[in-house]
Structure 1
Amino acid sequence: MAVVRSVLFNVVAFVLTGVMGVGALPIRWFMPAQALPYAKLWSRLVLWLFRTICGVRVSVSGLEHLPSSGAALIASQHQSAFDTLVWMLLLPRPCYVMKGELTRIPLLGPMLVLTGMMPVERAAGARALRLLLQGTDKAVADQRQIIIFPEGTRTMPGEHVALKPGIAAMSNHTGLPVIPVATNSGQFWGRNAFVKRSGVLHVCIGPAIGPAKRAVLLDEIEKSWRTLEEHAGL
């Protein structure tokens, strides 16, 4: 059954993305201010398909820790493509820190730029950090909620990797605290996994921490993730 559901979800989501990708062209040309609402609609539809077809129930805890408006820094675990969509539904003005190469994908790339996402060329070394902080300043001035995945890549459930220092630099540069988020999304929409699993997917949002020195803040993010995982039984 999981295979059948996964085939149906992947086919329908692919068609939806293609149709909405073409439908985005008039928005890019004539209504750029509608780019973010349009992206939110696409995310909402894809996640509705994921929940409905694949039999996944999404449980979000700690919503009281999220801002209703204004700039914020969110450090989320990253196990799944789900993590790159859900914040479109949970935040008023989300801004993802993402790989620069995504902006070069036909149809999708120009929309990512237009919606105000923050592309980072990770191979650029020290220049990448300068560009990250410049993008952070712009997002904060625009009252955006910035989502960053400090692990740097998608990981397996239970896998621990060294965190990238960018989140600490962003927090210390702006003076904003960091809101930690743990998830078990990889159990249901795994990295490079065709089959999607049913069950209860948790998104656990913790209280803000920092700013603090880089090593201290990264350690606090790790500890917060472990605490959130334990409380949710992940």
Structure 2
Amino acid sequence: MLYLRSLLFNVAFYLCTTILAIGGLPTMFFGRKAILELARVWARATLWLLDAICGVKVAFRGLENLHQEGCIIAAKHQSALETIALVTQVKDFTYILKRELTFIPVFGQYLLRSDQIAINRANRSAAMRDLMALAGKAIAERRAIFIFPEGTRRPPGAPPLYKSGVSRLYVAANAPCVPVALNSGLFWPRRALLRRPGTAVIEFLPAIPAGLPTNEFARLLQDRIEAASDRLIADALAADPRLAPNLGKKDEAAPAAH
């Protein structure tokens, strides 16, 4: 039954995505905010399907810590789930994402027309230069910037691999940073079909104020996210030990840094 429900969700998810992507094409003529509203409709529909079909709920904690404007939101990255769910909580946002996503037909146009920040990771120096310029513009326009400090999804429990880009962004933007902890990878594992029932938690932690030295910021960010994520993972495993197979290994080889 778990496999069947997971398969049904995936079919419904891609069908919903296709319908909204095609039906929402007129939003491209009405500017960035119209596209972002379509994105929120898509995200809410996805979370509803995930709950209705697979029994996976998403709980948000610490919303009182969430800055809506002119800030960096730095999230742990375990799953596609947080990429979708975070959209529902911020009105005006910009994601930092890999340029290859903009090459996807239709979807890529939505990203470009909504001023998401697409980075060419093959050229590190150019990527950082573009990131600083575009992020500065977004902060000046009072948008929230979503970034995944590890750059790619990591299994829950795997050793952290934080990159320097988030620290450079923090210094250049001179903006507060809201860390985000989560345990989503236990319920929507990366590179896997199964969606396991339960409550995935996304927790916004107290903001790190602007202006800290780079090393202090990097240490605070990693320590806070990792400690809170480990706590959320432990709570979920205590409630349902069957989630344990989705844990990463502490000695798992880390991907090459960019």
TM-score range, shorter chain: over 0.9
The letter for the 1-side match of 2:2 is A
Checking the alignment, whether the CA contact within 8 Å between 2:47 and 2:58 is kept in structure 1 is no
Checking the alignment, whether the CA contact within 8 Å between 1:205 and 1:228 is kept in structure 2 is no
Task: Indicate the residue corresponding to 2:193 in structure 1.
Answer: 194
TM-superposed deviation, 1:184: 0.6
Task: Indicate the residue corresponding to 1:140 in structure 2.
Answer: 139
Could you report, residue by residue, the CA deviation over 1:108-150 in whole angstroms, capped at 9, with x for unpaired residues?
0000111221111111111111100111111112211111000
The letter for the 2-side match of 1:24 is G
For 2:160 and 2:222, how far apart are their aligned partners in 1?
10
Q: Aligned to 2:146, what secondary structure does the other structure show? A: strand
Task: Indicate the residue corresponding to 1:180 in structure 2.
Answer: 179
Checking the alignment, whether the CA contact within 8 Å between 1:5 and 1:54 is kept in structure 2 is yes
Task: Indicate the residue corresponding to 2:15 in structure 1.
Answer: 15
Structure 2 gap ranges (5+) = 236-258
Could you report, residue by residue, the CA deviation over 1:52-106 in whole angstroms, capped at 9, with x for unpaired residues?
2110122211111012x42111110001111111111111112111111101100
Q: Aligned to 2:11, what secondary structure does the other structure show? A: helix
Q: Residue 35 in 1 paired to residue 48 in 2?
A: no
For 2:78 and 2:150, how far apart are their aligned partners in 1?
10
Task: Indicate the residue corresponding to 1:62 in structure 2.
Answer: 62
Matched positions, count: 232
Taking the TM superposition and a 5 Å limit, the aligned residue runs for 1:27-106 are 27-28=27-28, 30-33=29-32, 34-67=34-67, 69-106=68-105
Checking the alignment, whether the CA contact within 8 Å between 2:187 and 2:197 is kept in structure 1 is yes
Task: Indicate the residue corresponding to 1:215 in structure 2.
Answer: 215
Could you report, residue by residue, the CA deviation over 1:203-222 in whole angstroms, capped at 9, with x for unpaired residues?
11111124433332221111
The letter for the 2-side match of 1:158 is G
Task: Indicate the residue corresponding to 1:4 in structure 2.
Answer: 4
Task: Indicate the residue corresponding to 2:158 in structure 1.
Answer: 159
| RMSD after superposition | 1.5
Checking the alignment, whether the CA contact within 8 Å between 1:93 and 1:144 is kept in structure 2 is yes
Could you report, residue by residue, the CA deviation over 1:184-211 in whole angstroms, capped at 9, with x for unpaired residues?
1011111111111001101111111244
The letter for the 2-side match of 1:18 is T
The letter for the 2-side match of 1:156 is P
For 2:175 and 2:42, how far apart are their aligned partners in 1?
29
Q: Aligned to 1:197, what secondary structure does the other structure show? A: coil
Structure 1 gap ranges (5+) = none
For 2:112 and 2:47, how far apart are their aligned partners in 1?
22
Task: Indicate the residue corresponding to 1:120 in structure 2.
Answer: 119
Question: What TM-score comes out, normalization by structure 1 length?
Answer: 0.94
Percent of pairs with identical residues: 35
Q: Aligned to 1:218, what secondary structure does the other structure show? A: helix
The letter for the 2-side match of 1:94 is F
For 2:75 and 2:194, how far apart are their aligned partners in 1?
23
